[in-house]
Amino acid sequence: MTAIAGYVAPEAKSGDLGVHSLDQFVLAVPDANVAEDFYTNFGLNMERNGNTLAIKTFGHEHRWGSVVEGKTKALHHLSFGCYAEDIARLKARIEGAGVKLIDPPPGFESNGFWFRNHEGVLMEIKVAPKVSPDHKSDSIWSPVGPGAAGATTREKSPKVRPRRLSHVLIFTADVLASIQFFERTLGLRLSDKASDLVAFMHGIHGSDHHLLALVKSSAPGFHHCSWDVSSVNDIGLGAMRMADKGWTKGWGLGRHVLGSNYLHYVRDPWGSFSEYSCDIDYIPKEDRWPAADHKPEDSFYLWGPEVPREFTLNCEAGES
């Protein structure tokens, strides 16, 4: 682990300017019915309005994601939430950086403003409730003591229901340029990176180790959405349920190095992934995370099965 040459972390103090949450991700897919089936089986609470789907978690009102219909699967846009008192300064900073503001896409009008990043990816910043966590999420490790059975029968095993969205990982043709863009515009901070291959960014108002991650590819695209569950057991139960429903492809069980979360990824109908995640590192507000540059071969995962070839494919860039 080495310090990043030339990288000066912003001072962590109140008054710094940045978004507080990834408010929602929006995917375009060819068939909303397929998406509804996949995410419902994954354990999410899908609400349909015509051809648009809202992706929610049970017991939480927030809309973590949306699915709209499109010719091919594509990342439609990312929406970030900020505090009301920050939106004017964020807008001024982004315009001051030479980024042109644009009209919202039909159906997504909001109190916020819209722009494209340096690679053309559509983004929104709007005033919204903070949905990134204010503390590290609880994890359940040992629900019973001596003299009692910890496991249920398979028949009685509960349906896994993720608690919240943790992060998304997107492809980019230039990880280092993307870090700079998201620092200068959204006010995200670098948590960790591995060379110019992958980077993880967090929010300054308290968030998981990453609410947005970046991985190198030939073009932009959506790699995965990650959903927080309460235990490693839930990761296994979720993966098993998906396999029972025919969604057998993916990668896991394992544990990441950067972010530390336990993981299982399920390949979705369009070649990207949904991740069950547990016990991801948390970066409190005003904490200074020691952003570091890691050896790629030493920092992807701590343990787990061999990574399947399709895990790295950017289907939006035509890779197969």
Binding site for Fe ion (CB under 5 A): 226, 275
Please report how close the Cβ of residue 214 comes to Fe ion at its closest, in angstroms: 12
Minimum separation from the CB atom of position 228 to Fe ion (A): 11
| Nearest distance in Å: CB 139, Fe ion | 16
What are the angstrom distances between the C-alpha of 283 and each of 23, 134, 278, 279?
Answer: 18, 9, 15, 12
Pick the closer one to Fe ion by CB: 82 or 278.
Answer: 278
Kindly calculate the radius of gyration of the chain based on its CA atoms and give it in whole angstroms: 19
Q: How many angstroms separate the CA atoms of 43 and 125, rounded?
A: 28
Cβ neighbours around 290 below 10 Å, total: 10
CB 225 → Fe ion: shortest distance, Å?
Answer: 8
Our CB check for Fe ion shows the closer of 195 and 260 to be: 260
Residue placing its CB nearer to Fe ion in the complex, 81 or 254: 254
- Considering the complex, state which of residue 79 and residue 261 has its C-beta at the smaller distance from Fe ion: 261
Nearer to Fe ion, 228 or 275 (CB): 275
Q: Which residue is nearest to Fe ion (CB)?
A: 226
CB of 199 to Fe ion, least distance (A): 13
In sequence order, what are the beta bridge partners of 74?
28
Least separation in angstroms between residue 52's CB and Fe ion is 25
Residue placing its CB nearer to Fe ion in the complex, 66 or 226:
226
Look at residues 15, 64, 106, 62 and name the one whose alpha carbon lies nearest to residue 211.
64
Cα dihedral 178→7→10→133 (10° resolution) = 60
Contacts of 100 by beta carbon, 8 Å cutoff, 6+ apart: 115, 116
Is residue 101 a contact partner of residue 113, using CB atoms and an 8 Å limit?
yes
